[in-house]
Amino acid sequence: MRSMGLRLGIIIAALLGAAAAAQEPGQEPRDLDQGRIDSDPLRGLVIGRTVTVLGWEFYKSFSEIWQALYPDSQDTITVIERPTAQFGSEIWISYDNQTLFHTFLSPARSRTRQESKEAVGIVHDGIESIHIQRRFVQDADLGPEEM
């Protein structure tokens, strides 16, 4: 039991030493809570929140095309699906809590690839528009996510 505590203490000391070594010399130690509100360590993801095979095919096609056209993108996008009995699947793509693309896919699955190609262009244009708006419109009363 005592050796386990000693090992744990050594591991913690090694981790703290590695964290201190990663900082610039002469800099104050950084606290984990001192980060920017808009800094995201997991950037550039295409998150899939799909439920059905149709939604998965759309997500897979969209993410493949997105990664091929914009491999260095730092924007995190979410593909959301809600299956409906009347219309097939409702799909929307959001970026930073804003819906950039919304459509209904028929259960036939024949136009899934074409719809995802169109969605990539629309979403990319929407993200570029958001970036331009944030660059030129700055308001002390509004945060970046409220623009």
User: Band of the pLDDT at 108, cuts 50, 70, 90?
Assistant: confident
Q: Is residue 39 one of the residues assigned to a domain?
A: no
Residue 2: phi and psi, rounded to 5, are -70, -40
Q: Is residue 124 one of the residues assigned to a domain?
A: yes
User: Band of the pLDDT at 107, cuts 50, 70, 90?
Assistant: confident
User: Band of the pLDDT at 117, cuts 50, 70, 90?
Assistant: very high
Query: pLDDT, tens digit, for every residue of 2-21?
Result: 555 556 556 665 555 555 54
Q: How many domains does the chain have?
A: 1
Q: Is residue 93 one of the residues assigned to a domain?
A: yes
Q: Is residue 133 one of the residues assigned to a domain?
A: yes
Residue 127 has pLDDT above 80, yes or no: yes
Dist CA 123 CA 143 (whole Å): 22
- Domain span holding position 105: 46-140
* Tokens 């969209």 sit on residue: 62
Query: pLDDT, tens digit, for every residue of 32-53?
Result: 455 555 556 678 899 999 999 9
Q: Residue 100 sits in a domain of what CATH number?
A: 3.30.160
Q: Is residue 104 one of the residues assigned to a domain?
A: yes
Check if the beta carbon of residue 47 is closer than 8 Å to that of residue 79.
yes
Q: Which structure tokens are listed for 107? A: 């259960």
Q: Which structure tokens are listed for 41? A: 């360590």
Question: Helix, strand or coil for residue 78?
Answer: strand
